[in-house]
Structure 1
């Protein structure tokens, strides 16, 4: 998925894949816009695509960048809210894979209970 990224401004391509509880893998890539706030990260593209296809339960996520970069804060919050605590595999183009969890990436998420 990293190769499908549209990153003409940052040149920072990211690919992500979310695994559903039904063992289906749904991918996403980052898509940039000249108006940066309108851009979307690969992690959210993958998750939103899965949600749009009717999937609601997820068991793992993989994220790939040239350097093995970690998700931004917005993605960490979205991953937590839509997936709960799942394994996340951070990969680079040299084959290095680091395993973490959504809880480790966002130890104190904003949750529904915080809205009360």
Structure 2
């Protein structure tokens, strides 16, 4: 694992440990690297009024935006279980708002990286910010 990926892994693991998941007990952490090589992390936060909770990826993106970041260069999602914990559909679109289709999305569990995908693989033929650019 590269040092950059190790930074994301450790940040996601630390965030996951702070997740608020009293209903599902399914704690997820996410970390991303922005255009300034800063790492931002988030965790899932559940709410008794389903579906008002927040995904870990959304938290990491919000942390990036709050510090002035505007581009995701790489993102990692860490979750438990035998299946891959890939971003949900809404988070794939959230990631797409700040990332190009060639950005890597890494999926991990406690033992390390299980799979890596491009965002374009997870969200093919996506609708992004460039679709809304108008000619003046």
TM superposition score normalised by structure 2: 0.78
Matched, 1:92 2:106: no
Matched, 1:81 2:97: yes
Matched, 1:18 2:32: yes
Cα gap change, 1:96 to 1:20, in 2 (>3 Å): closer
SS in 2 for 1:47: helix
Q: CA RMSD in A?
A: 1.8
Matched, 1:7 2:21: yes
- Larger gyration radius, structure 1 or structure 2: 2
How many angstroms apart in 2 are the aligned matches of 1:96 and 1:25? 17
Matched, 1:101 2:121: no
Structure 2: 5+ residue stretches without partners: 1-14
How many angstroms apart in 2 are the aligned matches of 1:81 and 1:21? 14
**CA deviation string 1:45-92 (max 9, x = no partner):** 100110111111221001100123111000001101121221011001
How many angstroms apart in 2 are the aligned matches of 1:31 and 1:57? 23
SS in 1 for 2:29: strand
Is contact 2:21-2:46 (8 Å) kept? yes
- How far has the Cα of 1:20 moved from its partner? 1.1
Worse-superposed segment, 104-113 or 36-45: 104-113
Q: How many residues align?
A: 116
Alignment match of 1:72 (pick from 78, 88, 95): 88
Alignment match of 2:46 (pick from 22, 26, 32): 32
Report runs of 4+ in structure 1 exceeding 4 Å deviation.
none
SS in 2 for 1:12: coil
Cα gap change, 1:37 to 1:59, in 2 (>3 Å): same
